[in-house]
């Protein structure tokens, strides 16, 4: 049964619906990532859940209780939620221990219970040795863990995170993704996590909700979203992919411009025949000569550029019809720009997209 439910949730600013009649059900104890580009409505959705803004239409229910509706919304402090912002918002004049204990003191817990709960959460977030330090004496990753500890120590029903890793460098971001997932597995709070970083979403989420222009394009597990995108937008936003446009000619075949015919192993075809095909960069096979065993899904092209990236080479290849195709090849396949190559699109990796 859903613990957090968004039912026809809508928020407008003037004539623009920033969040447009979205429906979403989140099970208790699950971590859900709202993923999408800037301006897609994900942060507005989070702020609606938090109670910082009120909806124009629809409602939000938490644990079977309505917390938001037009003209009838509970204030943030009455929702038993904790929120972590992009800026860690730590009190600079308080130690780590005092920052984490702040919410418990507001709730007037006893000193013994405050100490027990703070020490427990500091141990879980690997901050015990830093308890007497001040925020200015901590690294970015340590400050982020303090922010997490402060949010978790009050035992919220729902944890909300708004781009929590955006201020960290690449190495710390990667480390903190796994830390957030570890803490979630330990405490199992119902969590709504906003990010524009697909690697963050893939690492942390039980369910990814891809948003675009105020609506939900697709929701599902990380594997489902990556391997079975339902639209061009989702396919391009989650992982590197090539989108080739063509016409459905029957069965599983799509005829693309330039004479390339692709047989697709999965997906949906449009009823009006116009269909796009998604093929991930790393699923395309690049050959210097035409492979003898391939008689379908193959085309000759010209290398436009080739980039050495350590573990692989990234190719951009021009094919008939004016399409540019990106392909990933092993480092030992080194073909200079201007040379002809053959691209093989294995049917099992070609996915037809109806939208």
Mean pLDDT of 225-252: 91
Mean pLDDT over residues 239-259, rounded? 88
Is the same domain home to 123 and 195? yes
CATH of the domain at 43: 3.40.50.300
Mean pLDDT, the chain, as a whole number? Answer: 91
Tell me what pLDDT residue 53 has. 94
Ramachandran angles phi, psi of 7, nearest 5°: -120, 105
Q: Which percentage of the chain shows pLDDT scores above 90? A: 69
Q: How much is the average pLDDT of 303-331?
A: 95
**pLDDT over 90 (residue 170):** no
What is the domain range of residue 304? Answer: 241-353
- Spatial separation of the C-alpha atoms in residues 326 and 297, rounded to whole Å: 16
Residues 205 and 120 in one domain: yes
- Report pLDDT for 141: 82
pLDDT at 294 over 70: no
Same domain? 160 vs 246: no
Same structural domain for residues 44 and 120? yes
Q: How much is the pLDDT for 2?
A: 87
Using the predicted structure, report yes or no on whether residue 1 has a pLDDT greater than 70.
no
Over the stretch 67-107, which tens digit does the pLDDT of each residue have? 999 988 999 989 999 888 877 788 999 999 999 999 899 88
Considering the domain architecture, whether residues 147 and 179 belong to the same structural domain is answered as: yes
Over residues 158-168, the mean pLDDT reads 86
Q: How confident is the model at residue 220 (pLDDT cuts 50, 70, 90)?
A: very high
**Are 71 and 12 found together in one domain?**
yes
Check whether residue 104 and residue 31 sit in a common domain.
yes
User: Which tokens in the block code for residue 212?
Assistant: 């675009």
42 belongs to a structural domain? yes
Say if 125 falls within a structural domain: yes
Q: What is the pLDDT of residues 295-313, one digit of tens each?
A: 689 999 999 999 999 999 9
In a domain, 80, yes or no: yes
Looking at the structure, tell me whether residues 274 and 195 fall in a common domain.
Answer: no
Q: Do 195 and 274 fall within a single domain?
A: no
- Tell me which of 205, 227, 249 is where a domain ends: 227
Greater confidence (124 vs 34) lies with 34
Is the domain of 195 the same as that of 340?
A: no
Within this chain, do residues 278 and 157 fall inside the same structural domain, yes or no? no
Q: How many domains does the chain have?
A: 2
Question: Using CA atoms, how far apart are residues 119 and 50, in angstroms rounded to an integer?
Answer: 27
> Do 133 and 246 fall within a single domain?
no
Q: State residue 15 phi and psi, 5-degree precision.
A: -80, -5
CATH number at residue 332: 2.40.50.140
**In the chain, count of helices (H) and strands (E)?**
8, 21
Question: Is residue 148 in a domain?
Answer: yes
Q: What percent of the chain has pLDDT over 70?
A: 98
Q: What is the pTM of this model?
A: 0.88
């Amino acid at each position: 049964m859903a613990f957090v439910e968004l039912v026809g949730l809508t928020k407008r600013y003037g004539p623009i619906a920033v969040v447009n009649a979205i429906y979403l059900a989140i099970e208790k104890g699950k971590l859900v990532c709202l993923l999408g580009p800037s301006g897609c409505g994900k942060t507005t959705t989070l702020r609606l859940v938090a109670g910082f803004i009120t909806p124009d239409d629809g409602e939000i229910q938490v644990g079977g209780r309505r917390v938001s509706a037009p003209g009838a919304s509970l204030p943030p402090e009455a929702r038993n939620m904790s929120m972590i912002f992009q800026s860690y918002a730590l009190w600079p004049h308080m130690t780590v221990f005092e920052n984490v204990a702040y919410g418990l003191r507001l709730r007037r817990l006893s000193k013994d219970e405050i100490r027990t709960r703070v020490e427990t959460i500091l141990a879980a977030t690997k901050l015990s040795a830093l308890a007497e330090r001040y925020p200015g004496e901590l690294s970015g990753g340590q400050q982020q863990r303090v922010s997490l500890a402060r949010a978790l120590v009050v035992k919220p029903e729902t944890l909300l995170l708004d781009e929590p890793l955006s201020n960290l460098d690449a190495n710390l971001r990667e480390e903190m993704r796994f830390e957030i997932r570890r803490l979630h597995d330990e405490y199992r709070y119902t969590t709504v996590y906003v990010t524009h970083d697909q690697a963050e979403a893939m690492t942390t989420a039980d369910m990814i909700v891809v948003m675009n222009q105020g609506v939900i394009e697709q929701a599902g597990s990380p594997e489902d979203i990556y391997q079975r995108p339902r639209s061009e937008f989702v396919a391009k936003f989650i992982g590197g992919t090539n989108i080739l446009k063509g016409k459905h000619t029957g069965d599983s075949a799509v005829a693309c411009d330039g004479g390339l015919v692709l047989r697709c192993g999965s997906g949906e075809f449009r009823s009006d025949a116009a269909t796009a095909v998604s093929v991930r960069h790393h699923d395309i096979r690049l050959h210097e000569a035409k492979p003898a065993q391939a008689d379908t899904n193959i085309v000759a092209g010209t290398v436009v550029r080739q980039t050495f990236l350590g573990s692989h080479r990234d190719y951009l290849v021009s094919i008939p019809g004016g399409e540019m195709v990106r392909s990933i090849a092993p480092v030992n396949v080194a073909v200079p720009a201007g040379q002809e190559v053959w691209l093989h699109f294995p049917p099992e990796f070609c996915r037809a997209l109806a939208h």
